[in-house]
Structure 1
Amino acid sequence: MNFGIAGRKAIVCASSRGLGYGCALALAQEGCEVVINGRDETRLAAAADEIAKASGAIIIPVAADVATPDGQKALFAACPEPDILVNNNAGPPMRDFRELSREQIIDGVVANMVVAIELIQKAIDPMMAKKFGRIVNITSATVKAPLAGLDLSSGARAGLTAFLAGVARSVAASNVTINFILPGSFDTDRLVSNIEGNAKRQNVSFEQARTNRINGVPAKRFGTKEEFGATCAFLCSQQAGYITGQNILIDGGVYPAAF
């Protein structure tokens, strides 16, 4: 299927690795010009080279912390009027809610809710003027099924979801969509870190902790960044213009419900 977005300009946050990388690669393979972002300049440059070689697309690396005004300014200097915006940010580490300071709570809400809203504020009016815009927010399966220890991550991302639910409806007539992808267990560096933490807490080997995690997934495997990116690219496609305000759960069947 031709997604009809060749030549479109995209910004993909936190895309030097992991799920953001998968989204950037998929959009580039559809012919988009993609601004990728990360804070590690060396890793970002390598990612830009890899994606450019794999897709033949124009890839613009912007080394910046998008949580800061300067970082956001740098992103939009590289792409003043994106057609596509993919919001992505690492969540706070697992921690008992009793241990969270006010500063840590505020930082978590800023990183996983406020930053995405600020970026959308900058992108949405040009999208509406052009009558085309696709905004995808990468949140988490824990928005739908919260886990103790990830309360701050779940709460901030659930707040973003509720905040944007009304916004999505208000811009739909301009062919601007806002959707959410909720990843479960995907084979990324973050998952490895989580499994290492679980192994220590459970006093088992990494391999045993990994096997335990896989056994909890009906698909009996972890997701890949390529299939995650393909879902993101479809939500950004011309054909997905009638899908907005939706939470797309990708978890290999973990969430045990029909609705």
Structure 2
Amino acid sequence: MDLGIAGRKAIVCASSKGLGRGCAEALAEAGCEVVINGRDAKALDATAAEIRAKTGAKVTAVAADVGTPEGQAALLAACPQPDILVNNNAGPPFRDFRELSRDDMLKGALGNMVVGIELIQKVIDPMIERKFGRIVNITSGSVKLPIPGLDLSSGARLGLQGFLAGVARNVAHANVTINHILPGIFETDRWRSGNALTAKKLGISEDDARQKAYEQVPARRIGQPEEFGQACAFLCSAHAGYITGQSLLIDGGRFPGVM
């Protein structure tokens, strides 16, 4: 399917690897000019080169911490008026909520709620003027299916979704959409790290821990960043203008609910 976004300009945050990279690559395949971002300049440059080689797209690498004003300014200097914004940021590590200090909670809310809102504030009015804008926020399946130890991450991401619910409705008339993708278990460095911790805690091998994870998912596997990216690209497409304010859960059927 032609997504109808060839030539559009996209910013994809935290995209040197994992789900962010999956989104950046899918948008590049659709013909977008893509600005990718990460804090490790070497890894980021390697990713940019690989996406260019695979897709032929223009890919600009911006090494910066998107959680800082300086990092956001660097992204927008590289792409002052994006047509597409994919918000993504690493979440706080697993931790019992009793151990969270006030400072920990403020940092979590900043990284997984406030930063996304700040970037949207900066890009949304030009999108409205041009009558095209696609904003996708990568949050987490844990906002629907709570995971012990990820309470701060889940709460901040749910706050982002709640904050933007009204905003999405207020800009829909201008063909500007705001949606969220909620990943379940995906093959990322963050998941592999968590799997290693689980294996250690249970006294089993990482392969056995992986198999246990498969058994939690009706699809009997975990997701791949590439398929996540394709879902993101569709929400950013010309065909998705009637989808806004929605939360797309991609978890292989793990969430046991109807809605």
The TM tier, using the shorter chain, reads over 0.9
The alignment partner of 1:25 has SS state of helix
Question: What is the deviation of 1:207?
Answer: 1.2
Question: What is the deviation of 1:224?
Answer: 0.7
Equivalent position of 2:237 in the other structure: 237
- The answer to whether structure 1 residue 121 and structure 2 residue 121 are counterparts is yes
Equivalent position of 1:212 in the other structure: 212
Equivalent position of 2:107 in the other structure: 107
Aligned CA-pair RMSD = 0.6
Equivalent position of 2:134 in the other structure: 134
Distance 1:205 1:96 in 2: 24
Question: What is the deviation of 1:148?
Answer: 1.5
| Unaligned ranges ≥5, structure 1 | none
Question: What is the deviation of 1:245?
Answer: 0.3
Question: What is the deviation of 1:257?
Answer: 1.4
Equivalent position of 1:81 in the other structure: 81
Distance 1:60 1:246 in 2: 29
The alignment partner of 2:81 has SS state of coil
The alignment partner of 2:86 has SS state of strand
Question: What is the deviation of 1:159?
Answer: 0.3
Q: What is the correspondence of 1:11-26 to structure 2 with a 5 Å cutoff? A: 11-26=11-26
AA matched with 2:198: N
The alignment partner of 2:34 has SS state of strand
The alignment partner of 1:234 has SS state of helix
Runs of 4+ in 1 over 4 A off after TM superposition: none
Distance 1:157 1:49 in 2: 31
Equivalent position of 1:175 in the other structure: 175
Distance 1:115 1:242 in 2: 26
AA matched with 1:157: R
Question: What is the deviation of 1:12?
Answer: 0.1
Equivalent position of 1:157 in the other structure: 157
AA matched with 1:222: I
Distance 2:126 2:184 in 1: 33
Equivalent position of 2:4 in the other structure: 4
The alignment partner of 2:22 has SS state of helix
Question: What is the deviation of 1:120?
Answer: 0.3
Distance 2:149 2:200 in 1: 15
Question: What is the deviation of 1:122?
Answer: 0.3
Equivalent position of 1:251 in the other structure: 251
Question: What is the deviation of 1:222?
Answer: 0.9
Distance 1:52 1:231 in 2: 21
Equivalent position of 1:69 in the other structure: 69
Report percent identity of matched pairs: 66
Equivalent position of 1:199 in the other structure: 199
AA matched with 1:204: I
The alignment partner of 1:128 has SS state of helix
Cα shift readout 1:160-195 (whole Å, capped 9, x = no counterpart): 000000000000000000000000011111110110
Distance 1:179 1:50 in 2: 28
The alignment partner of 1:77 has SS state of helix
Q: Normalising to structure 1: TM-score of the pair?
A: 0.99
Question: What is the deviation of 1:203?
Answer: 2.0
Equivalent position of 1:47 in the other structure: 47
Equivalent position of 1:35 in the other structure: 35
Question: What is the deviation of 1:206?
Answer: 1.1
Q: Normalising to structure 2: TM-score of the pair?
A: 0.99
| Unaligned ranges ≥5, structure 2 | none
